[in-house]
């Protein structure tokens, strides 16, 4: 019987395999090439429309985001400070190894700058210094939400936003979005106030638009009539400002923005080793001759008055101003007192049935958070020339237990006072109880220097640990345009600054940097780039058109790297990722 033969090869197997390979090879190369091309296309599409990475070049958003910088540990208190540097190859050097960094925490003047830019001395001659500074934060930016016509996904107030520099369309800026289309905006005593443009009378809108055009013309051309000079010196018409005083409302920060913008004034876990001039400390003040013993050393504040007595711990030494360690060489005359504060502490109860009180001051008012061991809590207000407080809010918590410490945060921010226990906001004031007086605020040449915060204990034994005092963001509103492109005899208020309101028209936004004292933002813009100059009056200085927005920043994916000194080369250049500083942007 004949066996069935499998399919027979009619040619040499080696030759057949070679021919097959030759036939397949071109096809495989083609598919691989196509895959690579498609991958590149998708990457470019993703970068163009979805998410793009950016590097922060400067410190205008410090301490939310860092530009090129150096890091040092304070020689006195041990606090880690970040200070700004410049690219000597791109910009005029500002800092040298002769500069000092004022500690954010204890105000000590540090001279141990590990990195600097500028001019160094070598062999008796000046040379350009290589600072080898730490790089700026690398961030990720969502782009696609701004391209959609949904209000919930589009630009929102308090977003950290990337946009095209109005003075140079080839450069990206990053600031916090503060003003929205269709509103009039004014910065008053460090806070943001707005009113809908539709609420203004036609007369006021015309007056404000006319003044803005005269001001912009003056800045652009540096030439105008004597009449225009007089108008600029007088500022916007008083009738327009008067109308606005009744219509402007304070714009409070979102919870996320608030969390990001609290800036440490003093952390009692890092006390200075010595108390030089203007260094912070908590000073005990006894209320009665037979007052309780207390201590403010050893990183705690301890009250011992359960047997009767009252004592006050008063924050002393350091001025509470908008100082930021990131900035070097900012004179005291350029700093502003800040009265929007937050005090935090861990309360460790011991015994007694008295009270614990935290007091913050703003203008003529004292606000007090009063906590009783039985669980009663309240916010009280002391008005001028009145010894008796007004109770603004009351509530209860669990009675104190000596085995259960709890956290307390008491804050006054954006004309809103709040008491937070264990991370939960339990009491807060209302607009009816506490609101700004815009007319009075405008009359102040400088912010009032607030009384220092106090902590009071009466008839209790209690120890406070991890005590931290913060200040809120203060948006500078001086006459800061100065001589920026204008005649030397005229000093102009910045766009949107106090008594210099700005109307944001359709598709116009207003941007401010978190490092307000050192940020060139909407307040200061005095040049129109070639990409916008052709728009004529359709573009107004101080604003960002909607089509110039790039996206919303959301994550720092690569902060400056770690630099372990014991690792050769790596320790010098910082290529180890610092995971601890990777963070969401708020």
Summarised one tens digit per residue, pLDDT across range 315-368 is 999 999 999 999 987 888 888 999 999 999 999 999 999 999 999 999 889 999
């226990």: which residue's tokens? 421
Question: So what's the pLDDT on residue 438?
Answer: 95
Portion of the chain with pLDDT greater than 90, in percent: 59
Say which range, 59-63, 352-356, 451-455, 489-493, has the weakest mean pLDDT. 489-493
Residues 6 or more apart from 420 whose CB is under 8 A from it? 407, 408, 409, 410, 411, 426
Stronger pLDDT, 403 or 26, i.e. the higher one: 403
Phi, psi values for residue 412, rounded to 5°? -130, 110
Rounded to an integer, the average pLDDT of 377-389 is 90
Question: So what's the pLDDT on residue 551?
Answer: 92
Question: So what's the pLDDT on residue 12?
Answer: 52
């209790």: which residue's tokens? 460
Hey, what are 59's tokens? 């410190």
Rounded to an integer, the average pLDDT of 130-139 is 80
Question: So what's the pLDDT on residue 25?
Answer: 57
Fold of 265-471: Jelly Rolls (2.60.120)
Stronger pLDDT, 301 or 9, i.e. the higher one: 301
Question: So what's the pLDDT on residue 195?
Answer: 98
Query: Which residue ranges make up each domain of the chain?
Result: 138-252+476-556, 265-471
Question: So what's the pLDDT on residue 2?
Answer: 45
Question: So what's the pLDDT on residue 121?
Answer: 52
Portion of the chain with pLDDT greater than 70, in percent: 81
Question: So what's the pLDDT on residue 144?
Answer: 73
The model's confidence at residue 143, banded by pLDDT at 50, 70 and 90, is confident
Stronger pLDDT, 333 or 174, i.e. the higher one: 174
The model's confidence at residue 37, banded by pLDDT at 50, 70 and 90, is low
pTM above 0.85, yes or no: yes
């410090």: which residue's tokens? 62
Rounded to an integer, the average pLDDT of 528-539 is 93
How many CA atoms lie less than 13 Å away from 525 in the CB half-sphere?
24
Rounded to an integer, the average pLDDT of 445-468 is 91
Say which range, 146-160, 315-329, 429-443, has the weakest mean pLDDT. 146-160
Rounded to an integer, the average pLDDT of 170-193 is 96
Q: How far, in Å, CA of 318 to CA of 320, rounded? A: 6
Say which range, 7-16, 267-276, 475-484, has the weakest mean pLDDT. 7-16
- What pLDDT, in 10s, does the model give residues 45-78? 445 556 889 999 889 999 999 998 989 999 999 9
SS3 content of the chain, % helix, strand, coil (to 5): 20, 35, 45
Cα-based torsion angle of the residue sequence 571, 573, 577, 580 in order, rounded to the nearest 10 degrees: 70
The model's confidence at residue 475, banded by pLDDT at 50, 70 and 90, is very high
- In three-state secondary structure terms, 261 is helix
The model's confidence at residue 33, banded by pLDDT at 50, 70 and 90, is low
Distances (CA, A) of 50 to 35, 45, 391, 411, 547: 21, 8, 51, 38, 16
Question: So what's the pLDDT on residue 130?
Answer: 55
Rounded to an integer, the average pLDDT of 8-12 is 46
| In the predicted structure, residue 234 carries a pLDDT above the cut 60 | yes
Q: How far, in Å, CA of 395 to CA of 22, rounded? A: 84
Question: So what's the pLDDT on residue 219?
Answer: 80
- What pLDDT, in 10s, does the model give residues 270-327? 999 988 888 999 998 764 434 567 888 889 999 988 888 888 999 999 999 999 999 9
Could you tell me how many residues make up the chain? 586
DSSP string, 15-29: HHHHHHHHHHHHHHH
The model's confidence at residue 225, banded by pLDDT at 50, 70 and 90, is low
Q: 87: exposed, middle or buried (C-beta count within 10 Å: 0-12, 13-18, 19+)? A: middle
| In the predicted structure, residue 124 carries a pLDDT above the cut 90 | no
Question: Average pLDDT over the chain, rounded to whole?
Answer: 85
Contact call for residues 464 and 347 (beta carbons, < 8 A) = yes
Distances (CA, A) of 94 to 73, 134, 313, 322, 334: 21, 16, 41, 21, 18
Tell how strand 168-179 and strand 183-188 pair up. Answer: unpaired
Class of domain 138-252+476-556: mainly beta
Q: How far, in Å, CA of 7 to CA of 193, rounded? A: 88
Say which range, 127-131, 329-333, 514-518, has the weakest mean pLDDT. 127-131
457 - beta bridge partners? 311, 356
Question: So what's the pLDDT on residue 571?
Answer: 65
Q: How far, in Å, CA of 60 to CA of 45, rounded? A: 30
DSSP string, 512-569: E-SSGGG---TTT-----HHHHTTGGGS-TT-EEGGGEEEEEEEEEE-SPB--TTSTT
Among 410, 514, 518, 411, residue whose Cα is nearest residue 464: 410
Rounded to an integer, the average pLDDT of 194-215 is 94
The model's confidence at residue 433, banded by pLDDT at 50, 70 and 90, is very high
417 - beta bridge partners? 412
Sign of the dihedral through C-alpha 230, 236, 238, 239:
positive
The model's confidence at residue 252, banded by pLDDT at 50, 70 and 90, is very high
Residues 6 or more apart from 540 whose CB is under 8 A from it? 212, 216, 502, 505, 508
Q: How far, in Å, CA of 332 to CA of 457, rounded? A: 34
Instruction: Out of 46-50, 153-157, 167-171, 285-289, give the one with best mean pLDDT.
Output: 167-171
Question: So what's the pLDDT on residue 6?
Answer: 45
Helices 202-221 and 238-245: crossing angle in degrees, nearest 10, is 120
Distances (CA, A) of 442 to 233, 416, 478, 510: 17, 20, 11, 21
Stronger pLDDT, 322 or 126, i.e. the higher one: 322
Stronger pLDDT, 124 or 338, i.e. the higher one: 338
Question: So what's the pLDDT on residue 547?
Answer: 93
| In the predicted structure, residue 530 carries a pLDDT above the cut 80 | yes
The model's confidence at residue 538, banded by pLDDT at 50, 70 and 90, is very high
């Amino acid at each position: 019987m004949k066996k069935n033969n499998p399919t027979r090869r009619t040619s040499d197997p080696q030759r057949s395999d070679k021919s097959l390979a030759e036939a397949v090879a071109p096809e495989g190369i083609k598919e691989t090439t196509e895959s690579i091309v498609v991958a590149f296309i998708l990457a470019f599409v993703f970068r163009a429309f979805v998410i793009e990475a950016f590097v922060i070049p400067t410190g205008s958003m410090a301490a939310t985001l860092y530009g090129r910088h150096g890091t040092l540990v304070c020689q006195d208190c041990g606090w880690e400070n970040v200070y700004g540097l410049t690219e000597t190859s791109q910009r005029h050097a500002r800092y040298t190894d002769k500069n000092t960094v004022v500690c954010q925490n204890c105000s000590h003047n540090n001279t141990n700058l590990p990195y600097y830019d500028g001019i160094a001395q070598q062999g008796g001659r000046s040379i350009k210094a290589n600072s080898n500074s730490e790089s700026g934060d690398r961030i990720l930016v969502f782009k696609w939400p701004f391209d959609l016509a949904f209000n919930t996904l589009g630009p929102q107030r308090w977003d950290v936003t990337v946009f095209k520099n109005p003075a140079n369309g080839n450069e990206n800026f990053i600031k916090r979005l503060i003003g929205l289309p269709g509103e009039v905006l004014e910065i008053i005593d460090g806070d943001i106030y707005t009113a809908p443009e539709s609420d203004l009378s036609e007369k006021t809108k015309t007056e404000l638009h006319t003044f803005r055009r005269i001001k912009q013309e003056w800045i652009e051309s540096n030439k105008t009539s004597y009449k225009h000079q007089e108008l600029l010196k007088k500022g916007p018409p008083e009738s327009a400002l008067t109308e606005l005083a009744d219509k402007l409302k304070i714009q409070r920060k979102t919870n996320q923005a608030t969390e990001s913008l609290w800036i440490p004034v003093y952390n009692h876990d890092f006390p200075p080793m010595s108390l030089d001039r203007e260094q912070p400390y908590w000073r005990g003040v006894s209320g009665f001759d037979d007052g309780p013993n207390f201590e403010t050393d050893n990183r705690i504040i301890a009250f011992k008055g359960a047997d009767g007595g009252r004592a006050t711990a008063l924050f002393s030494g350091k001025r509470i101003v908008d100082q930021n360690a990131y900035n070097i060489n900012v004179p005291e005359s350029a700093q502003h007192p800040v009265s929007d504060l937050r005090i935090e502490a861990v309360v460790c109860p011991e015994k007694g049935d008295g009270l614990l009180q935290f007091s913050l001051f703003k203008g003529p008012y004292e606000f007090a958070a009063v906590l009783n061991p039985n669980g009663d809590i309240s916010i009280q207000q002391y008005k001028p020339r009145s010894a008796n407080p007004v109770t603004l809010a009351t509530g209860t918590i669990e009675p104190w237990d000596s085995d259960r410490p709890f956290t307390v945060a008491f804050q006054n921010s954006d004309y809103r006072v709040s008491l937070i226990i264990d991370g939960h906001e339990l009491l807060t004031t209302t607009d009816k109880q506490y609101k700004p007086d815009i007319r009075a605020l405008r009359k102040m040449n400088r912010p009032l220097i607030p009384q220092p915060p106090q902590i009071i204990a009466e008839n209790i034994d209690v120890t406070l640990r991890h005590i931290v005092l913060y200040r809120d963001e203060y948006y500078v509103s001086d006459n800061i345009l100065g001589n920026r492109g204008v005649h030397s005899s005229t000093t102009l208020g910045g766009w949107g600054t106090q008594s210099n309101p700005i109307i944001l028209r359709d598709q116009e936004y207003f941007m401010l940097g978190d490092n307000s004292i050192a940020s060139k933002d909407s307040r200061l813009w005095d040049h129109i780039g070639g990409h916008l100059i052709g728009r004529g009056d359709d573009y107004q200085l101080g604003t960002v058109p909607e089509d110039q927005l790039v996206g919303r920043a959301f994550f720092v994916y690569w902060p400056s790297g770690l630099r372990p000194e014991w690792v050769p080369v790596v320790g010098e250049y910082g290529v180890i990722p610092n995971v601890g500083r990777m963070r969401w942007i708020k």
